[in-house]
Chains A and B, each alone.
Chain A
Amino acid sequence: MQGWMEFWDNFIVMLPQLTEKFGVTVSIFVLTLLFSLPLGLLLAFGRMAKNGLLCLMSKIYISVMRGTPLMLQLVIVYFAPYYVFGIKITNSWRFGAVILAFVLNYAAYFAEIYRSGIASIPVGQYEAAKILGYTRGQTFGKIILPQVVKRILPPVTNEMITLVKDTSLAFVLAQVEMFTVAKQFAASQASVMPLMVAGVFYYFFNLLVASLMEYVEKKLNYYR
Chain B
Amino acid sequence: MKKKILALMMTAAMAVSMTACGQQADTAQGGQDAAGETKQEESAAGEEASAEPSSQGAAAEEGRTTFTVGFDAEFPPYGYKDTSGEYVGFDLDLAEEVCRRNGWTLVKQPIDWDTKDMELSSGTIDCIWNGFTMNGREEQYTFTVPYVDNSQVFVVALDSGIATKADLAGKVVGVQKESSALAALEDEENPDNIALAASFATLNQYADYNTAFMDLEAGAIDALAMDIGVASYNILQRAEGQYNILEGEDGSERLASEQYAVGFLKGNTELKDIVEKTLLEMAEDGTFLKIAEKYSDFGLPESICLGKE
Which residues of A line the B interface, CB within 8 A? 9-10, 13-14, 16-17, 39, 42-43, 45-46, 49, 51, 54, 57-58, 60-61, 64-65, 72, 75-77, 79-80, 82-84, 88-91, 93-94, 104, 135-138, 140, 171-174, 176, 180-181, 183-190, 192
Contact = CB atoms under 8 A, between A and B. Distances in A.
Contacts of B82: 188
Most buried by A among B28, B70, B209: B28
Given A137-B6, A171-B112, A187 B74 contact: yes
A200 to B, nearest CB: 18
Given A14-B85, A91-B68, A82 B17 contact: no
Contacts of A46: 13-14, 16-17
Interface string B1-31: 0110110011011101110110010111011
A58 B24 CA distance: 12
Contacts of A89: 122-124
A13 B86 CA distance: 10
B75 interface: yes
- Chain B's interface size range is 35 or more
Q: Is the interface of A mostly helix, strand, loop or mixed?
A: helix
A188 B76 contact: yes
Nearest to A45: B13
B16 A42 contact: yes
Given A43-B20, A84-B34, A190-B210, 9 more contacts: A46-B14, A49-B10, A54-B13, A76-B30, A83-B122, A172-B112, A174-B124, A185-B81, A188-B237
Nearest to B34: A83
Given A89-B124, A184-B81, A76 B31 contact: yes
Contacts of B34: 79, 83-84
B116 to A, nearest CB: 9
Contacts of A190: 210, 213, 233-234, 237-238
B74 A184 contact: yes
29 contacts: A9-B83, A13-B83, A13-B85, A17-B85, A42-B13, A43-B16, A45-B10, A61-B17, A61-B20, A72-B31, A76-B30, A79-B118, A82-B121, A82-B123, A83-B122, A88-B122, A91-B107, A93-B124, A135-B2, A135-B6, A172-B114, A174-B115, A174-B124, A181-B81, A183-B208, A187-B73, A188-B81, A189-B237, A192-B214
A80 B27 contact: yes
A183 B74 contact: yes
B119 interface: yes
B141 interface: no
B85 A43 contact: no
Interface string B23-65: 0101110110110000001000000000000000000000000
Residue in A46, A64, A65 with the greatest tally of chain B CB atoms within 10 Å: A46
B21 A61 contact: yes
Contacts of B16: 39, 42-43, 46
Most buried by B among A9, A91, A138: A91
A60 B109 contact: no
Contacts of A54: 13-14, 17-18
Interface string B75-119: 110001111110000000000000000000001011110110011
User: 6 shortest A-B CB distances, which residue pairs?
Assistant: A84-B30, A187-B74, A190-B237, A137-B2, A82-B122, A42-B13
B115 to A, nearest CB: 6
Nearest to A88: B123
A134 B90 CA distance: 72
Nearest to A72: B31
Contacts of B18: 54, 57
Contacts of B233: 190
A17 B13 CA distance: 41
A181 B85 CA distance: 9
Contacts of A138: 2
B276 to A, nearest CB: 24
B302 to A, nearest CB: 22
A64 B24 contact: yes
A10 B85 CA distance: 9
A51 B14 contact: yes
B55 to A, nearest CB: 19
Contact of B115 (A58, A91, A172): A172
A181 B12 CA distance: 41
